């Protein structure tokens, strides 16, 4: 695979500092997968912890494609030997990502003393769940999100917007076929168990409506979410006929950062994109 070296256009919102990302990935890395940082419609950064004598990391990415098809061209095929702060790092403007895009990918590795390139099984990253860093000040919700999500929606999922240690917001696109949403329950890093009472990290009884979304926003201190955490959640909604429906539990993984292009930061401050530390149950 031909190596590509591409310079990323850095927005005001995402002055780059990889040390925080890599250190948190190395500490919490329980799943063998890369970490993606995406700026909407601008570019992508990929981080992968260096393991032992691994001397090359590569990735083939297919955006919104059926990876099972033969002779499928990848949207980004790139490898690197560059290591920063313990991570292989790839930066590219050749691939742009927008709300609700899905990246399916395979990773490649080469180790010292071997001429073989190993290929890992395919995985996917869904850019549905936003995690917005504290330093970043954005419109709520990001400009045009509700209209985009309602038009593209195929699975009723919320957008979680988590400002580190400061606030939390949840946006549910108001797709006409869904009916009136009345609540959401979520628990961090734990599965729901039927018939067992569990302490919830989020128990939203009602939403307000704004700009095509059902919206919940709280200035209260949110649970101490960190890179690699997941939210297990249930959406509760009421049909026009009054019937209440609960979705099956679903998970939102806080592994992939998606930063809206509408995001802006104070010009004299840097955004380190470093999640807070948290204890695991």
- Tell me the sheet residues that pair with 123: 105
Query: Residue 128's pLDDT is what?
Result: 72
Neighbours of 271 (CB within 10 A): 21
Write the CA distances from 254 to 20, 81, 111, 228, 244, integer angstroms: 16, 27, 29, 5, 29
Mean pLDDT of 118-130: 85
Query: Residue 169's pLDDT is what?
Result: 82
Mean pLDDT of 72-81: 95
Instruction: Assign 78 a pLDDT band (cuts: 50, 70, 90).
Output: very high
| 23 closest CA partner among 90, 91, 89, 87 | 87
Write the CA distances from 5 to 57, 137, 251, integer angstroms: 14, 31, 35
Q: Evaluate whether 205 touches 262 at the Cβ level (below 8 Å).
A: no
Burial annotation 98-123 (CB, 10 A radius, 16+ → b, else e) = bbbbebbbbbbbbeeeeeeeeeeeee
Q: Evaluate whether 275 touches 225 at the Cβ level (below 8 Å).
A: yes
Overall pTM > 0.85 = no
Name the percent of the chain lying above pLDDT 70. Answer: 64
Alpha helices (H) along the chain: 18-28, 145-152
Query: Is a pLDDT exceeding 90 seen at residue 207?
Result: no
Q: Express each pLDDT in 243-256 by its tens digit.
A: 777 888 888 877 77
| Order of strands, sheet of 208-210, starting from the edge strand that comes earlier in the sequence | 159-163, 167-173, 213-218, 208-210
Residue 24: strand, helix, or coil: helix
**Does domain 18-126 sit in CATH 3.30.420.280?**
no
Mean pLDDT of 187-195: 89
- Tell me the sheet residues that pair with 162: 168
Lowest-confidence region among 89-98, 131-140, 254-263, 269-278: 269-278
Superfamily for the 145-253 domain? Beta-1,3-glucan-recognition protein, N-terminal domain (2.60.40.2140)
Q: Express each pLDDT in 15-70 by its tens digit.
A: 334 456 676 666 655 557 888 888 878 889 999 988 889 999 999 999 999 998 88
Tell me the two tokens of residue 126. Answer: 């869904």
User: Same CATH topology for 18-126 and 145-253?
Assistant: yes
Residue 149: strand, helix, or coil: helix
Q: Which comes out higher in pLDDT, residue 219 or 247?
A: 247
| CA-CA-CA-CA dihedral for 276, 23, 56, 102, to nearest 10 | 0
CA–CA gap between residue 120 and residue 140 (Å, rounded): 38
Tell me the two tokens of residue 102. Answer: 């899905």
Mean pLDDT of 157-181: 70
Fill in the DSSP letter of residue 178.
T
- The residues spanned by each domain of the chain are 18-126, 145-253
Query: Is a pLDDT exceeding 60 seen at residue 222?
Result: no
Query: Residue 9's pLDDT is what?
Result: 30
Burial of 69 (0-12, 13-18, 19+ CB in 10 A): exposed
Q: Which comes out higher in pLDDT, residue 224 or 211?
A: 211
């Amino acid at each position: 695979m031909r190596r590509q070296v591409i310079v990323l256009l850095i927005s005001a919102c995402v002055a780059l500092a990889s040390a925080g990302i890599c250190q948190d990935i190395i500490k919490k890395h329980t799943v063998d997968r890369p970490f993606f940082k995406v700026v909407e419609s601008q570019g992508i950064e990929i981080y992968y912890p260096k393991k032992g004598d691994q001397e090359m990391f590569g990735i083939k990415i297919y955006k919104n494609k059926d990876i099972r098809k033969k002779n499928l061209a990848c949207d980004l095929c790139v490898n690197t030997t560059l290591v920063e702060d313990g991570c292989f790092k790839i930066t590219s403007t050749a691939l742009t990502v927008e709300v609700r895009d899905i990246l399916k990918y395979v990773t490649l590795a080469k180790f010292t003393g071997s001429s073989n390139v190993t290929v890992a099984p395919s995985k996917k990253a869904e850019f549905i769940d936003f995690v917005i860093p504290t330093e970043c000040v954005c419109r709520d919700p990001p400009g045009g999100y509700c209209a985009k999500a309602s038009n593209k929606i195929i699975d009723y999922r919320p957008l979680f917007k988590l400002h580190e240690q400061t606030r939390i917001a949840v946006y549910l696109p108001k797709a006409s076929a869904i009916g009136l949403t009345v609540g959401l329950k979520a628990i961090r890093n734990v599965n729901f168990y039927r018939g067992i009472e569990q302490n919830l990290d989020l128990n939203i009884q009602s939403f307000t409506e704004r700009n095509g979304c059902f919206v919940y926003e709280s200035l209260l201190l949110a649970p101490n979410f960190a890179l690699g955490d997941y939210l297990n959640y249930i959406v509760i909604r009421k049909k026009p006929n009054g019937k209440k429906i609960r979705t099956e539990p679903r998970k939102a993984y806080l592994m992939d950062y998606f930063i809206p292009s509408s995001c802006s930061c104070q010009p004299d401050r840097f955004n380190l994109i470093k999640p807070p530390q948290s204890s695991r149950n």
